[in-house]
Every structure is written in structure tokens, then in C-alpha cells.
Chain A
């Protein structure tokens, strides 16, 4: 983070605070919120894990680690996370490299972008539904197409496949920006020194993307570690994973303590990944963009046969993704998939009658979370990057915690903390909104920070020296500059409110329920047609909203302003 002025010593910082009452007030409010909605629930989870009859004990944790089944679940989770990280990153690299290094026409890039955006804006288990139809002893693909009779749809392979398809777009978005940032001139230099194309790729292009690859692997590892819905449907019983075990422990066995302990075990790898990403990978970006950009040259790193080969691969995978969604749509408009293929709107009728409450609740929650998440992100991002105050670094790290942790942990921590006095929030909409705001607000924070880093501080200093207070300066100078970040933060909170399930499944109530939870319930209730119809509806709503937001972002186009697509990745 760039500090606006020279570092001040602590006593000066304090005086600074007192001189700026608005800053002081916003700090107090923000810290109270962070403590209430991030630290205290986590501390409660911590206590629940390590306390037995008023004493500190390791026995709960040891009991889990001593149970071979749970140890297996932990190991499975880590294995799955690593594999999803590797496979997803490989796939993401393939797409990103093809998209920016092979001189594709606009139409092709657009096609790739569209097929990649679908998994990003879907509820997490939509591919799982399609997998159930497609694979298995009588699956559309394994049996009807390939004639394999004994294929099982449950286990590591299908969970890995489904999660890779769902999360590789994150890798794509992370890597695309980095590969696009490599100046083709650098490759040209290597070419002119006589290198072969393969050698250039191996010794120039690939090394420059290494930090991006590492970052992407970590992001996907974290995403997989947080996902409990896909394994719940596809992992079967021989491949238990920790998030699903924790969920079943709480919802099925009413063992909140056991669930808390299980989710605590998950905390260790999650934090490890968070700190690796933050303090190691994020510092290793190589900058190849200098002030003097030569004439833009054609990218020559790929011969045309490779280009068509890569494009073919990408198209094959895109077609696969599109197939999943076509299948999903088809399942939503036939009477009973597999038995009665008569067309019907009855599943949509159910969605818009029985499902209306869930739709209304979700839209209200997402709608309320949107502006709050946007404002939260912008204010916190502004403070940590433009102001010097005591606890600045701590505030930034704390604000990222709920974002970094798997949703299962956050959900369970909220359930533990807000179910009893002093602050009883279970059963309200507030707890769900708060969960989304503090879990997905950080995207807005990071975008704000990124934009502010590119704004010359002298603009604000000029405002100060003309006598404006920090409020006026923020409102009249900074705010207009960071509006794109505001919309980015707001957009992500909306999208995740429509699609996420892992944390909030613990927080729904008779008064407030969510579409994603309904989809899961409908799937386990054998109403696959309705589940499919709900999923299509979510994809539709989210697609419209992100289109609107990206149009908005284009309106405010500014240096450092992100594209909507790249925000989705975070």
C-alpha cells in the first residue's frame, strides 16, 4: 500500500486521528462491525473447539484427528483441493493462452468468454445435476454415447471433474490479465536472438506467468476447500470430504460441537493458503509494462497449426460446458427427465408459485446487501490505502478473514455466535445479509485499493491545501474516482448472494430462505426438473445484472478500473 505522506511516528498518528473526527468516527464504526461480524464469531468457534467443561482441552481436536474416517476426510479434502488447483489452473492457462496469444478473432474470444462466464454465475451444484444425468451406469455420455456399463458417477473423479469445470474460469481470469500483460516485444527479442517458438514459450512466456499460476492454484485450492455442495451430491460415501462431513454432523446429527471441531480443522489449510497468497505470491509479480511501449506487434509465439489445435481443445471444453447447460435447460422443460420427454412449463410454474417466497427473500437479501457491500468496500478500501492511522494493517487483514475462510466455517461460526444472547440474530435477514457483506465485500476493498494506487495523491493534497476537510475531499475528489470500485463491490455481493450456499445454508430460517438452498432441497427431494428450472432462473437473473453493471463500469471507464469479468474471478 502506498502511504500518502512520509511515515509518522505513533504519537503523531494518534494526534492525526483526533484532528480528523470523521476519520475517528468511521474507524470506530468499522472496527465495531469487523469485531462483531468477523472476530467474535470466530473466537466463539475457537472456544467451542477447545473448551470442555470450562477447561482448555485438545481432546476434541485429537478425537477428530484420531478417527481414521475423519482423518481420511481431511486428507481427501486436501487431495481434492490440490487436484482442482492443478487441473483448473492447467485448463485456465490453456484458455487464457489461447485467448490472448493466438490472435483470435473477436467472435472466437467472445464465444470463449461466454462459455466461461456460465459456471461463474451459476449456483455451485448446477454442473453436479448435469453430471448425474450424464455419467453413471446408464449415463447419457458414459452409456448412451460410449457404451460403458459400469461407470460410477460418484467419487473423486466426478467431484474433481465437476469442481474443475466450475472453478477453472477463476484461473482463466487470473491468468488472462497476466499473459496479456506480457509485452510481445519481449518475445520478439528472444525470437530475433534465434530461439525456437517452444524455447521462447519455455524460457520467456512461462516463467513470466509463474506467480500467476501459483496464485491461481491457491485460489482454486481455497474454492475447492470451501465447496460442500458438489461433494455432497457427487462424492459418494467412499470419498468423504471435510466440509460435507461438518455439514452432515450439524444438520443430520445435531452435533454442533462436532461440526465446529471439524470446520476448525479446515481452518488451518485455509489460513495457510491465505498467507501464502498474500505475503508470498502477491509480491512476485513481474512487471513487463514499461513507460516506453514500442509499436504494438503481432504476437508470433504460436504457429498456426498450434493455434488451431489449442482453439480446438478450448472449443471442445466450451462445448462440454454448454452441453451441461443445454441439458439443464432441457431437464427444466420436460415432464420427467429420462421417462417422459413431453414439453411442459410446469417446473417453472412451481418456481413462480411455490418458489416465489424464496425468490423474493433472495432478491431482498441480495438487494439489501448490494449497496451495503459496495459502501463497505469503498470506505474500508479508501481508509486503508489513503489514511495513516493506528491499526491500519490489522484492519486490512481482518477484513479479509471471512473472505479467505471456507463458507462452512463462517456459517457455523455465525450460527454459534448469533444463536444465543447477547446478540440473537438467527432467523433474521440481517444475519444473512451481514454474512454476504463481510464475506464478499473484500472484492470491493481490493478494487478500491487497486484504483487508488493509480491516482496521484497530489490531487487530494491540492484539495486539502485549498482548505477542504477530509469529508469534502472524499466526496468531491475521491468518490467520483472510485465509483467503479463501488459498482464492482456491489456487483460481487449481489452475484454471490444469488449463488452462494456454503455459509448461508446454516443461517436460513422459516422467515428467510434462499433460492440456492431451495435448489439443493429440490434436488434431494427428487424434483430435478424444478431444481433445474430454479438454476436456470438464477443464471438468467445474474446474467442480466452483470450485464447492467458492466455497462455501468464502461461508462465510468478510468485507469485501473476493472472489467466486470475480472471481478467475478475474485
Chain B
């Protein structure tokens, strides 16, 4: 009987499916949202597992998305740790009451700008913004690599600049605060500049590094990115050049934070302990992750130090930025984006 056999077959397959879905996740594991791209977060988490035996389940989101998700899940947190991401994200989160303060053993050693006084977040790296341009594009237009924010306003760049969208990307938020800082915190002047820059922008991308490949390919001429993304593009072999504006450019702390109501707080704390120590930060160079380590005892990788030599880089005033983040991003959406 064909039908009977079919029914038995479906009963068995249904059972098998439910069996499969209910197994999984038996071992104790840490859950995390990572803002670092998967190919950097994964080796770190694997090293962590090697060192501690704790497995990390994680999902990668842009910083805006990660923050939105954690806030949405506030009453029933699905993860223990928010790993990486520019610190504005974490500071915005403090106001939302989503983090649990925790001071790891390294807390005292870290410079003040790498930690929240209460311990709501702790820095694991420093990440300056840079200008990155396509060499062929520069040659064709007879340009030097841009060395001033005003260089980017030149009509030669019309429709050829890519940078990130402040709705989803922390890179964009850091960039906007850099501009505001460059204009001496005169928001009106800063927004006037950004509106002028808008004329030259081809597209605002969803994630911070979204424009690096187009710049590498020559589809765009230049862009403003975090140094990790820019150097990665260069290392892959794209013909790009990195430069810094003489007025200075912001750098953002990459941070880690424990979630309030985390299901595995002890494991989360172990992760924070480990990631703020040289134990993790020594691995940056090995995996070609071009972050500047936050721990004072970890040396910056020589070629990265070479790129940064002579550059005028200033830290964003995180407390001020965190307080004004929402207002500034909204103004950007309304005035610059359209």
C-alpha cells in the first residue's frame, strides 16, 4: 500500500526533525553578539575556547543593529556579552539600562579612556578613522591623497565618495563626531560641512566597511573608514592609499560589555577578563587584525604603527558623544541623508 508506506515515512521524518531540533546546545556555552566582523571575532573566540574551554555561540551585527536587538530583548536577554564595536554604542546602551557593570582584573592598568568609570564597558582596542583612496582614481584626476577634510569637498570627488550610514553603522557615528570635533563642537558648522560633502557622496553603506571594496575596485574614488577595514583592503591587494587629515580625525575605543540579566554571567565575566588582557590582544597581529591594542603592555604591530606615524588622531569625548548620539544621528538623517 503506497499510502500507508508514505504515512509511515512522514511519521519517521517528522520524528527525526523534532529530534534534531531538540538536541543541540547541551554543553555550557557563552552567547555573544559580535560587532566585529565574523572573520575577526571567530579566531578570537576560538583562542578563548582554547584557553578556557568555553565555547562561544555568536551572531554578527552592525553596531546599530546589535544595540537595537539587545534593547528589544531587554526583558529576556538572549546573549551574555556584547563583543566589540565602537564605544558610542555601549554608552548609548548604558542609558537604556541593558548592561551590568563589571571591572575585570586589568581595570586598574587601562588608561582612563579605555574604561567606563563604573565598569559598564571596558576597552579592548583602539580604532582610528582614516581616509582611503583609490590610487588609479587619484592619478587619473591628478590628485594627491586627501590631507584635509576640505580636500574631500573638491568637485573632482563628485559622486565618488562612499561612507557608512549613521542609521546602522558605528563607523558613521564616530565619523560624524569627528567632524563635530574638528569644527570645535559647533554643530551647525559641522552639519553645513557634511551637507556640502553630501554632494560628493555616491552612497552611504549599511556597514562601516561597506565602501572599502568599491573604493578598492575604483567604483568609488575615496572614503572614510576605520583603519582595520582600510588596511584589510590594502592587504587583500587592492591598489589603495591611506591618508589622514591635518585637522585631525577621531579614534574610537572598541569595547566589550556584560549584559544585565545575562544567563551565564560567570562565563561572560571570564570573557571580559580574557579579552581585556594581553592574552587576547597579543593575537591581533597573528590574525592580521589591525586594531591598536588597548592594554598598555601589548605592542602595536610595527606596520600598523608605521601607518599611524605622524597622523593627528584625537579620541572622541565618549561621555559627550554618548549623550548626544541620538540627537546628532537624527539630525544627520533629516538634514544630510536626503
Q: Does B108 contact A (CB under 8 A)?
A: no
Q: Is the CB of A338 within 8 A of B78?
A: no
Complex Cα–Cα for A510 and B65 (A): 14
| Stretch from A40-48, A150-158, A219-227, A535-543 forming part of the interface with B | A150-158
In A136-155, the 8 Å CB interface with B consists of 136-139, 150, 152-154
Q: Does A371 contact B (CB under 8 A)?
A: yes
From known contacts A424-B76, A525-B38, infer whether A339 and B64 are also in contact, taking CB-CB under 8 Å: no
Complex Cα–Cα for A511 and B31 (A): 9
From known contacts A152-B159, A153-B219, A237-B204, infer whether A248 and B168 are also in contact, taking CB-CB under 8 Å: yes
Complex Cα–Cα for A364 and B204 (A): 36
Q: Is the CB of B202 within 8 A of A236?
A: yes
Whose C-beta in chain B lies nearest to the C-beta of A523? B210
Complex Cα–Cα for A136 and B205 (A): 15
In A522-561, the 8 Å CB interface with B consists of 522, 524-528
Contact partners of B37 in chain A: CB under 8 A: 525-527
From known contacts A138-B217, A524-B207, infer whether A510 and B33 are also in contact, taking CB-CB under 8 Å: yes
* A386 nearest CB across to chain B (Å): 18
| Stretch from A8-16, A278-286, A455-463, A472-480 forming part of the interface with B | A472-480
Q: Does B59 contact A (CB under 8 A)?
A: yes
* B132 nearest CB across to chain A (Å): 12
Q: Is the CB of B21 within 8 A of A364?
A: yes
A524 interface neighbour in B25, B205, B214, B232, Cβ under 8 Å: B205
In A500-517, the 8 Å CB interface with B consists of 508-511, 513
Interface flags for B61-93 (1: CB within 8 Å of A; 0: not) read 110110111011101101100000000000000
Q: Does B276 contact A (CB under 8 A)?
A: no
* B338 nearest CB across to chain A (Å): 5
Whose C-beta in chain B lies nearest to the C-beta of A142? B219
Q: Is the CB of B236 within 8 A of A339?
A: yes
Q: Is the CB of B3 within 8 A of A137?
A: no
| Stretch from B12-20, B110-118, B144-152, B293-301 forming part of the interface with A | B12-20
Q: Is the CB of A371 within 8 A of B60?
A: no
From known contacts A136-B214, A364-B17, infer whether A510 and B57 are also in contact, taking CB-CB under 8 Å: yes
Contact partners of A248 in chain B: CB under 8 A: 165, 167-168
Complex Cα–Cα for A253 and B212 (A): 24
Query: B interface, by DSSP: helix, strand, loop or mixed?
Result: mixed
Which residue of B25, B201, B217 has the most chain A CB atoms within 10 A of its CB atom?
B217
* B114 nearest CB across to chain A (Å): 25
Whose C-beta in chain B lies nearest to the C-beta of A357? B57
Whose C-beta in chain B lies nearest to the C-beta of A140? B217
Q: Does A367 contact B (CB under 8 A)?
A: yes
In B207-248, the 8 Å CB interface with A consists of 207, 209-210, 212-214, 216-221, 229, 232-233, 236-239
Q: Is the CB of A338 within 8 A of B217?
A: yes
B210 interface neighbour in A371, A483, A524, Cβ under 8 Å: A524
Which residue of A150, A339, A424 has the most chain B CB atoms within 10 A of its CB atom?
A339
Contact partners of A23 in chain B: CB under 8 A: none
Q: Does A335 contact B (CB under 8 A)?
A: yes
Q: Does B206 contact A (CB under 8 A)?
A: yes
Q: Is the CB of A336 within 8 A of B206?
A: no
Q: Does B183 contact A (CB under 8 A)?
A: no
Contact partners of A354 in chain B: CB under 8 A: 38-39, 42
A237 interface neighbour in B76, B210, B218, B337, Cβ under 8 Å: B337
In B159-198, the 8 Å CB interface with A consists of 159-160, 165, 167-168
Complex Cα–Cα for A513 and B218 (A): 33
Q: Is the CB of A368 within 8 A of B203?
A: no
Q: Is the CB of A526 within 8 A of B78?
A: no
Q: Is the CB of A252 within 8 A of B216?
A: no
* A390 nearest CB across to chain B (Å): 29
Complex Cα–Cα for A526 and B212 (A): 7
B67 interface neighbour in A236, A254, A424, A508, Cβ under 8 Å: A254
Q: Does B2 contact A (CB under 8 A)?
A: yes
Whose C-beta in chain B lies nearest to the C-beta of A430? B21
* A561 nearest CB across to chain B (Å): 16
Q: Is the CB of A252 within 8 A of B68?
A: yes
Whose C-beta in chain B lies nearest to the C-beta of A341? B237
Q: Is the CB of B68 within 8 A of A138?
A: no
Q: Is the CB of A371 within 8 A of B14?
A: yes
B237 interface neighbour in A254, A340, A350, Cβ under 8 Å: A340
Q: Is the CB of B212 within 8 A of A252?
A: no
Complex Cα–Cα for A71 and B329 (A): 21
Q: Is the CB of B39 within 8 A of A527?
A: yes
Q: Does A69 contact B (CB under 8 A)?
A: yes
Whose C-beta in chain A lies nearest to the C-beta of B164? A524
Query: Count the A-B residue pairs with Cβ separation under 8 angstroms: how many?
Result: 153
From known contacts A154-B203, A526-B213, infer whether A339 and B239 are also in contact, taking CB-CB under 8 Å: yes
Interface flags for B1-32 (1: CB within 8 Å of A; 0: not) read 01100100010011001101100110000010
B3 interface neighbour in A250, A371, A429, A479, Cβ under 8 Å: A479
B17 interface neighbour in A152, A232, A367, A483, Cβ under 8 Å: A367
Q: Does B58 contact A (CB under 8 A)?
A: yes
Q: Is the CB of A475 within 8 A of B60?
A: no
Complex Cα–Cα for A511 and B57 (A): 8
Contact partners of B18 in chain A: CB under 8 A: 368
Contact partners of B203 in chain A: CB under 8 A: 154, 236-237
Contact partners of B2 in chain A: CB under 8 A: 480
Contact partners of A150 in chain B: CB under 8 A: 159
Q: Does A256 contact B (CB under 8 A)?
A: yes
Q: Is the CB of A138 within 8 A of B218?
A: yes
Contact partners of B207 in chain A: CB under 8 A: 524-525
* A219 nearest CB across to chain B (Å): 29
Q: Is the CB of A526 within 8 A of B68?
A: no
Interface flags for B254-273 (1: CB within 8 Å of A; 0: not) read 00000000000000000000
Whose C-beta in chain B lies nearest to the C-beta of A234? B203
In A216-247, the 8 Å CB interface with B consists of 232, 236-237
Q: Is the CB of B59 within 8 A of A340?
A: no
Complex Cα–Cα for A364 and B20 (A): 8
Whose C-beta in chain B lies nearest to the C-beta of A233? B206
Contact partners of A364 in chain B: CB under 8 A: 17, 20-21
* A232 nearest CB across to chain B (Å): 7
Contact partners of B220 in chain A: CB under 8 A: 137
Which residue of A251, A371, A375, A419 has the most chain B CB atoms within 10 A of its CB atom?
A251
Complex Cα–Cα for A331 and B256 (A): 34
Q: Does A52 contact B (CB under 8 A)?
A: no
From known contacts A236-B203, A248-B167, A524-B207, infer whether A137 and B160 are also in contact, taking CB-CB under 8 Å: yes
From known contacts A339-B239, A371-B14, infer whether A510 and B202 are also in contact, taking CB-CB under 8 Å: no
State the A residues within 8 Å of B (CB): 69, 132-133, 136-139, 150, 152-154, 232, 236-237, 248, 250-254, 256, 335-340, 350, 354, 364, 367-368, 371, 375, 415, 419-420, 424, 426-427, 429, 475-476, 479-480, 483, 508-511, 513, 521-522, 524-528
11 A-B pairs with C-beta separation under 8 A: A150-B159, A154-B203, A251-B69, A338-B218, A339-B237, A415-B72, A508-B59, A521-B38, A525-B38, A525-B60, A525-B207
State the B residues within 8 Å of A (CB): 2-3, 6, 10, 13-14, 17-18, 20-21, 24-25, 31, 33, 37-39, 42, 57-62, 64-65, 67-69, 71-73, 75-76, 78-79, 159-160, 165, 167-168, 201-207, 209-210, 212-214, 216-221, 229, 232-233, 236-239, 329, 334, 337-338
The 6 closest A-B pairs by CB, nearest first: A254-B68, A138-B218, A252-B167, A339-B237, A524-B207, A136-B219
